[in-house]
Amino acid sequence: MERVELLILNNLLNNETYIRKVIPFIKEEYFKEQREKIIFQEIFSFMEKYSKPVTPEALLIEVENRDDITQDVYTNILQCVNSFEENDTNPDWLIDTTEKWCRDSAIYLALMDAIQIADGKDDDRGRDAIPSILSDALSVSFNSRVGHDYLEDYDDRYEYYHRKESKIPFDLEYFNKITKGGLPNKTLNIALAGTGVGKSLFMCHMAAASLTQGKNVLYITCEMAEEKIAERIDANLLNVNIQHITDLPKSMFESKVNSIAKKTQGSLIIKEYPTASAHVGHFRALLNELAIKKSFRPDIVFIDYLNICASSRYRASGSVNSYSYIKAIAEELRGLAVEAEVPIVSATQTTRSGYGSSDVDITDTSESFGLPATADLMFALISTEELEQLGQLMVKQLKNRYNDPTINKRFIVGIDRAKMRLYDCEQTAQNDMIDNMGTPSYNNDEEQSNFKNKFAAINF
């Protein structure tokens, strides 16, 4: 290993192309010997200050000016540096070897940290930090990409334009229309609704639908118990009235669950956290724990619901206003979505004025207008007495980064509260909604033209 470290230091002194590629990824603690640490410190310090590689002569002068080393250490460094010389080592092999050395060193240091934590010798970190420490070490790699070069990276850009984006589709026609086929990864999607309208029902239905599509689903609840969420998903998937689930004989219940298991390749994990106590740090640790213990990596994450999560940056106190606090939670959740490369679906409450309104607007978002500013998709779930009698729910787009939000601005979905299920309505329900609202939404230019011609004929 020492031979590898000396080879790396030699090339850091004599190979400018090499140093510019690897210097951002090498850490001082990767070197074990004091002389090698000091040599690297001076190389890194000079490069950081002057943006140029240090020469052997300048390095030795800098080392000689230090007052934290003995004469014996300086002599050792002098002998080491004088032994360095330019070489013609294969550059690709050199980069690969350096990357492997960095990863092996990071893993070794992570294991040492984990042992310290496990023995209770680390006052700042608990055992729940061990999975993330090991995960970070295993993910060490050389990634020299620092942005998209518009003129040079046109080929990558063209491929991106023609690449089919991975999405989690809905089982509801109009939701697929407004999202162009489903929810993309690295996004935050928010349902806005009043109390009792159907925020949790929507998320439970979508979790059940994702599971039947063979997806891995993680459902985090900060409101209801894990068993209560599972009961709602049971009603949906088992096609049983939620009030009658407890009446099912165990053999029938087991048979129905096993039947679902045979039809899907996915898994559904439900995790409960106390209200207002869990933040993205807890969720990130949960993802790491699931990956290590169960080899489970979610394709989609539901968080029920955003307003009763905590922020990892702020403490909920009088010193932080609700706008900043809720916006921080939204930003942290979207950051987690990007990090985990999954869509996150959550919900929020309407304001008092929005509760019971037949035309909820984006300004009816409770506590913080910073939430819709952060979300990629935001829609309102609206229920009135008339819609409730018809077994329907109105959906209104509030913000949409996937499609034009004026297309299908409002639409109707059916709702079966007894079985915690949503379903597509017939087109007549959409037409009735247009007649009642007086604000048509068109699927395409042809529909718009037909509607205008029909309206003109009626007036005539």
- Calculate mean pLDDT across residues 193-201: 90
Tokens of 162: 């023609």
Residue of 359 and 91 predicted with greater confidence: 91
- Calculate mean pLDDT across residues 263-292: 93
- Calculate mean pLDDT across residues 409-421: 94
**Beta strands in 336-452, from DSSP E residues, in sequence order:** 343-349, 377-382, 392-400, 410-416, 421-424
- pLDDT, residue 434, reads 62
- pLDDT, residue 24, reads 87
Please report which confidence band the pLDDT of residue 354 belongs to, taking 50, 70 and 90 as the band edges: low
- Number of neighbours of residue 80 by Cβ within 10 angstroms: 17
Q: Which fold has domain 173-425?
A: Rossmann fold (3.40.50)
Q: How far apart are CA 327 and CA 367, in angstroms?
A: 9
Query: Does 305 sit behind a cis peptide bond, omega within 30 degrees of 0 on the bond before it?
Result: yes
- Among 298, 419, 320, which Cα is nearest to 370's? 320
Name which of 201-215, 242-256, 287-301, 313-327 the model is least confident about: 313-327
pLDDT of 198 > 50? The answer is: yes
Q: What is the pLDDT of residues 22-80, one digit of tens each?
A: 988 899 999 989 999 999 999 999 998 988 889 999 999 999 999 899 999 999 999 99
- pLDDT, residue 60, reads 93
- pLDDT, residue 74, reads 92
CA angle at 446 for the pair 442 and 448, rounded to the nearest 5°: 40
* Mean pLDDT taken over the chain: 87
- Calculate mean pLDDT across residues 406-434: 88
pLDDT of 345 > 90? The answer is: yes
* Model pTM score: 0.68
Alpha carbons within 13 angstroms on the beta-carbon side of residue 16 total 5
Contact between residue 81 and residue 13 where contact means Cβ atoms under 8 Å apart: yes
Q: What is the pLDDT of residues 85-102, one digit of tens each?
A: 887 889 889 999 999 999
pLDDT of 161 > 80? The answer is: yes
- pLDDT, residue 449, reads 54
Architecture of the CATH domain 2-138: Orthogonal Bundle (1.10)
Q: How far apart are CA 152 and CA 155, in angstroms?
A: 8
- Domain ranges across the chain: 2-138, 173-425
Tokens of 398: 């509030």
Specify the pairing of strand 392-400 against strand 377-382: antiparallel
- Calculate mean pLDDT across residues 260-272: 94
Query: Do 2-138 and 173-425 share a fold?
Result: no
- pLDDT, residue 355, reads 58
> 225 phi and psi, to 5 degrees?
-70, 155
pLDDT of 452 > 70? The answer is: no
Run of H or E including 187:
strand 187-193
- Calculate mean pLDDT across residues 429-447: 59
pLDDT of 190 > 80? The answer is: yes
Q: How far apart are the first and last CA of the chain?
A: 90
pLDDT of 122 > 50? The answer is: yes
- pLDDT, residue 458, reads 32
- pLDDT, residue 455, reads 37
- pLDDT, residue 339, reads 93
Name which of 22-36, 208-222, 268-282, 357-371 the model is least confident about: 357-371
- pLDDT, residue 445, reads 54
